[in-house]
Amino acid sequence: MKVIFLPNYNVSSAQIIIPAAELSQHISTAGTEASGTSNMKFVMNGGLIIGTMDGANVEIAEEIGEDNMFIFGERVDGVNKIRKQLYEGKRGYVGKKLGRVFDTIKSGFFGDTSIVHPILDSLADGGDHYITCFDFYGYCDA
């Protein structure tokens, strides 16, 4: 698999990239409406979608069926429930696999950790507003 990050993604680059893509990830937290219509273009060009049930993914699933997408993660009700639990003090939710990922990042294996270290600590200590730690395992399974 080749993963490409485009820092200046725009319509001109999308015209080239979308028809060539085989997989598109749209992984915004359910209920944030951050998954836009570009994923519809990926699907119309034969690309597979891995994503959460947010934004345009909901509409795509209505048209092609969820079993034709790689859906993972909490739905809006689950997101709200988890956020309430975090607010009430829930901790210990990172788990073994993600804990290993955090430890590897913190070890400096990928480079300077001065910026990311506090972010990881916050995610592990109740600051996971977008429930990325919770959705991580579903993403791996998908």
* Domain encompassing residue 124: 75-142
Residue 55 has pLDDT above 90, yes or no: no
**Residue 117 sits in the same domain as residue 63:** no
Question: Burial letters for 62-85: b for 16+ Cβ neighbours within 10 Å, e otherwise?
Answer: eeeeeeebebbbbeeebbeebbee
**Residue 80 sits in the same domain as residue 45:** no
CA–CA dist 115, 68 (Å, integer): 38
Using one digit for the tens of pLDDT, what is the confidence trace for 64-89? 999 999 999 999 999 999 999 999 99
**Residue 81 sits in the same domain as residue 123:** yes
**Residue 12 sits in the same domain as residue 50:** yes
**Residue 109 sits in the same domain as residue 139:** yes
**Residue 106 sits in the same domain as residue 131:** yes
Tell me the helices (H) and strands (E) count for the chain, helix number first.
7, 3
